[in-house]
């Protein structure tokens, strides 16, 4: 069974999954730029803050 599994570095088609991810990430960076990543990072941080506060309230802890 282990012999039938492909290693992640083996090529099934034109490129590996890692190469496809790298290509997509570069394209996104080229298209959207620095401000895009700054904005989504801020949104992610805000969401984490909300989830932490929600967890504290669920446990009965004060914020």
Q: What is the DSSP string of 1-63?
A: -GGGSPPTTS-SSSS-HHHHHHHHHHHHHHHHHHHHHHHHHHHHHHHHHHHHHHHHHHHT---
Indicate the domain borders of the chain. 33-63
pTM: 0.53
**To which residue do tokens 């290693």 refer?**
7
Q: Kindly report, residue by residue over 4-23, the tens digit of the pLDDT.
A: 455 555 656 789 999 999 99
Q: Kindly report, residue by residue over 27-63, the tens digit of the pLDDT.
A: 999 999 999 999 999 999 999 999 999 999 998 876 5
């Amino acid at each position: 069974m282990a012999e039938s599994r492909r290693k992640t570095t083996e090529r099934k088609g034109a490129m590996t999954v890692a190469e496809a991810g790298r290509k997509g990430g570069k394209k996104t960076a080229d298209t959207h730029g620095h401000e895009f990543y700054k904005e989504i990072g801020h949104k992610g941080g805000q969401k984490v803050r909300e989830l932490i506060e929600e967890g504290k309230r669920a446990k009965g802890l004060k914020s």
